[in-house]
Chains A and B, each alone.
Chain A
Amino acid sequence: GESVGLHLPTLSVQEGDNSIINCAYSNSASDYFIWYKQESGKGPQFIIDIRSNMDKRQGQRVTVLLNKTVKHLSLQIAATQPGDSAVYFCAEKVGGGADGLTFGKGTHLIIQP
């Protein structure tokens, strides 16, 4: 089936810098996208979501950008902190809630002191 993928498996940034994690999706019918953060030994934690009728959404220190033309999703984390070190997954689904999520491969974000 169609899948969601990531460009970079590992990303290392200096503490205080901004980071950008990218994700490509292939299902043009997907209309809801979520970014999750997973720390070692824990389940995925919801960060931010975006629907297909939007191209940008901002949260606290995080921004998600959606480009439906090229089926690309990105997560921007501003002023990174040591606690941001984790694996980040994008996920997508079609429809409002009845279906499960299709996850991308994941990017391991490492914050260097």
Chain B
Amino acid sequence: SAVISQKPSRDICQRGTSLTIQCQVDSQVTMMFWYRQQPGQSLTLIATANQGSEATYESGFVIDKFPISRPNLTFSTLTVSNMSPEDSSIYLCSAARGAEAFFGQGTRLTVV
């Protein structure tokens, strides 16, 4: 398995601002992903974080709103830009080694 650490674990942000979430994996992994989990709901894939190239976004998610970086095989960031209350959610980082995927504890974001 892989140990995934996310920072911050939670934050309360003003609308119109941006927040960058960091994800650190304790070992090199092939793939890294970012998910959103709205209150009381399931997880939705935002994008695949590709090392050295632009992230691959799922339908409904765009780079301008959720810019992603992945400078190496163990680290990625997700920025939630120009936040609104609708962005209040849990954001989860995931890493995959082969087919098996592991998750961080998530970042609970509240936008006021």
Contact = CB atoms under 8 A, between A and B. Distances in A.
Interface of A: 1, 32, 34, 36, 41-46, 49, 89, 91, 93, 96-106
A8 to B, nearest CB: 14
Nearest to B97: A97
B109 to A, nearest CB: 14
A102 B41 CA distance: 13
Contacts, number: 59
Interface residues on B, range: 20 to 34
Contacts of B58: 100
Given A97-B96, A101-B101, A1 B42 contact: no
B19 interface: no
Nearest to B106: A43
6 contacts: A36-B103, A43-B104, A46-B1, A49-B99, A98-B48, A103-B43
Among B31, B45, B98, B102, the most chain A Cβ lie within 10 Å of the Cβ of: B45
Main secondary structure of the interface of A (DSSP, over half): loop
Nearest to B45: A100
Given A89-B43, A102-B45, A104-B42, A97 B98 contact: yes
A32 B103 contact: no
B44 interface: yes
B92 interface: yes
B106 to A, nearest CB: 5
Contacts of A99: 48
B42 A49 contact: no
B99 A100 contact: no
Interface in B65-103: 92, 94, 96, 98-103
Interface in B2-54: 4, 30-31, 33, 35, 41-45, 48
B105 interface: yes
B103 A43 contact: yes
Contact of A103 (B42, B98, B105, B106): B42
B96 to A, nearest CB: 6
B22 to A, nearest CB: 15
Nearest to A95: B99
